[in-house]
Structure 1
Amino acid sequence: MDKVRIGILGAGSMGSVHADHLSKIEDCRITAVCDLSMDRAKQLADKVSAHAYADFDEMLEKETLEVLYILLPPFAQSGQFEKAAEKGIHIFIEKPIAITSERGKSMVDAARKANIKTQVGFHMRYGSAIQKLKKMQEEGLAGRPVLFNGRYQCNSLHVPWWKDVNLCGGQIFEQAIHVYDICRYIYGHPKAVASFMGNVCHGEIPGYTVEDVSASVSTFTTGAQASITANNCSVPNRWDALFDMTFQKVSVFFKSPDEAEFHFIEKDGERIEYFNEPVDHKFAEDQDFIRRVRNNLPDFCPVEEGLRSLLFVEASLFSAKMDGQKMRVEIY
């Protein structure tokens, strides 16, 4: 059986991460790498024995690709997804899928029209503890959802474009979206959100227009509630995405997507189960996506999910800009 032919768009840090993973998967092969910097494209392409391109349209024209990995910053999404979809190429795209919901909707429409397989890089969904709770929920063992408490915290200036809200969308868009997505994945799509944000620690840094603290509350049709906070003023060189989840029959306190304490409410009182099964989430998502493409299996986290989590953070951002006014969260 021929190997799945893969192209990579974006030879930055995420391009290198995914290229390394894909090189370890036996039934696929990276045949092309594209980046605006030809030197950077060639450096990664040489590493995986692929062709290098600086022009995306040229790569699409010359290469016969089955899968495209779009690993670009949010501001750089400008129709590459739609062009690949039109050619029937299956697409993996990193989060956030775009900097506006309008661009995200265009991607979803293109994917639906082409009937391609898609995957968004919400890798924390592959956490073993997350999956344990998801299975319990699907089997009715968790009971009704009650409360989600999530937080994202770090302390870094990151890459230069990340400081500019017009290029990254903000911390809610570019980082905390992981926590917003896990909230959606487990609790369902929220109906409304109200948020506040500020810039407390970085006001004197030239060009820093991203919020460095935010807080939101959300409500769901089930009656469940959620609170999500984020900040860029916490411990340096740490990027923590943490959450606690309360259900009718169990409360789960996560130390990571793979490690958690499950506190079960039983007739005789409380039963505590400690769970810790480390998983390489990014490698798992690459393996899973290629497997689903190869075997024509249903999508795990399709581009629709990327758009819906984008709509969630977008509503949160709009609310914060309107001093906490409650905003409806659109579903598409």
Structure 2
Amino acid sequence: MNTLNVGVIGLGEIGQAHCDALSHIERANLVAVADVDETVLEDTAKKYGATPYSDYEAMMEHDDLQAVVIATPDAIHKDPCLSAAAAGKHILVEKPIAMTVEESEEIIQAAEAANVKLMVGFTVRYFSQYIHAKDAVARGDLGDVISVFARRTNLITQPDRVNGRTGVMFFLGVHDFDAMRWIVGSEPVSVYCESANAVDSKYPIENETFSIIRFTNGAIGCAHIGWYLPANHPAGFDFKLDVTGSQGILSLDMMKQGIELHTTSGSRYPFMAAPLIAEDKDFVDAVLDDGPSPVSGHDGLVAVRMVLGALESIESNQPVKL
């Protein structure tokens, strides 16, 4: 059986999740990890039997390394991606592909020039509930899509967790912008966004937003993206999707996932999904079987354009063409 030797760059929360996911994939070998935090690096390397690198450039020289997962902070995706492409390594980069159109295009061009696979990590596409929604629309179960509403809200503590280095649109909104485009099956043509400012923000970032998106097929989307849930929220998130068609509706609620736990210490809605394993497996299979990238660099670029358009709209108080 062919297997793929993979390295992970960036060992924060999502990088650790990728390491765990890869360890569950039969055709994947986690052979190398890279991070600037020496303690985290050594602990992770020991846990997975991988070679540690404090410099990702050095990791590119690792014997038989074939692919990398890039899970560095959003603003520093470009350089590891370019380094990996130059070294001939296939790339799975966490969302967003980058935080500017220029850097996104540079990454895409580098991967194309090096003839390596480039996949963007839009994990929402790998939740069974969202896959069901996509399939229902594609089959025509709902008739013609009229509108789609998405909600993705998170804990009020999230800006502190990321030290205010990114706003809610790139952190969360990019997921649903991509998911709406994917499910509706049509390209976005304009976006109008409002951001609530009733409460002073610790960081100069957007925190609570509503976006209206027009698609080429005439459908309209609305996305409520924010992080003002109380810290003791039983799920820690509230993710929803409603699709309205000419012949039916579909409603998706990720918060409870079919199980509730109520004890003397409080209530919880345990998280039951494992989409990252499916995402990483799709990447591994695409490389080993020489299939198309499951989520292309272009997909990532369109989502970046949508987020940047929404942020521009907040500032201008006008719709922005995409």
Q: 1:200 to 1:157 in 2, by over 3 A?
A: farther
- Equivalent residues in 2 for 1:52-131 (5 A)? 52-131=52-131
The sequence identity of aligned pairs, in percent, is 27
Structure 1 unaligned regions, length at least 5: 261-277
CA distance in 2, matches of 1:163, 1:175: 15
CA distance in 2, matches of 1:175, 1:95: 10
Q: CA deviation at 1:319?
A: 0.7
Superposed CA deviations along residues 57-81 of structure 1, whole A, max 9, x for unmatched, are 1111244311100001112224210
Q: TM-score, normalised by structure 2?
A: 0.88
Q: 1:318 to 1:243 in 2, by over 3 A?
A: same
- Equivalent residues in 2 for 1:99-248 (5 A)? 99-158=99-158, 160=160, 162-164=162-164, 167-168=165-166, 170-187=167-184, 188-203=186-201, 205=202, 208-236=203-231, 237=233, 238-248=236-246
Q: Bigger CA drift: 301-310 or 57-66? A: 57-66
CA distance in 2, matches of 1:235, 1:18: 28
Tell me the number of residue pairs that the alignment of Structure 1 and Structure 2 aligns: 305
1:273 alignment partner in structure 2? none
User: For 1:301, what is the secondary structure of its paired residue?
Assistant: coil
Q: CA deviation at 1:55?
A: 0.9
Instruction: Answer whether contact 1:155 1:234 (CA < 8 A) is retained.
Output: yes
Counterpart selection for 2:312 from 318, 321, 329? 318
Instruction: Answer whether contact 2:238 2:255 (CA < 8 A) is retained.
Output: no
Q: 1:257 to 1:182 in 2, by over 3 A?
A: farther
CA distance in 1, matches of 2:291, 2:247: 33
* Pairing 1:297–2:291 present: yes
1:281 alignment partner in structure 2? 275
Letter in 1 for 2:287: V
Q: CA deviation at 1:2?
A: 4.8
Counterpart selection for 1:251 from 222, 241, 249? 249
User: For 1:191, what is the secondary structure of its paired residue?
Assistant: strand
Q: CA deviation at 1:160?
A: 4.4
Letter in 1 for 2:24: K
CA distance in 1, matches of 2:99, 2:192: 20
1:266 alignment partner in structure 2? none
CA distance in 1, matches of 2:209, 2:141: 33
Instruction: Answer whether contact 1:201 1:233 (CA < 8 A) is retained.
Output: no
Q: TM-score, normalised by structure 1?
A: 0.85
Instruction: Answer whether contact 2:117 2:287 (CA < 8 A) is retained.
Output: yes
CA distance in 1, matches of 2:178, 2:81: 21
Structure 2 unaligned regions, length at least 5: 259-271
Superposed CA deviations along residues 94-127 of structure 1, whole A, max 9, x for unmatched, are 1112121211111111122223222222111122
Segments of 4+ in structure 1 off by > 6 A? 257-260
Q: 1:119 to 1:318 in 2, by over 3 A?
A: same
Instruction: Answer whether contact 1:179 1:241 (CA < 8 A) is retained.
Output: no
Q: CA RMSD in A?
A: 2.1
Q: CA deviation at 1:287?
A: 1.8
Q: 1:136 to 1:180 in 2, by over 3 A?
A: same
CA distance in 2, matches of 1:136, 1:174: 27
Q: CA deviation at 1:86?
A: 2.2
User: For 1:5, what is the secondary structure of its paired residue?
Assistant: strand
Q: CA deviation at 1:241?
A: 2.1
Q: 1:138 to 1:75 in 2, by over 3 A?
A: same
Q: 1:46 to 1:259 in 2, by over 3 A?
A: closer
Instruction: Answer whether contact 1:215 1:230 (CA < 8 A) is retained.
Output: yes
2:264 alignment partner in structure 1? none
Letter in 1 for 2:15: G
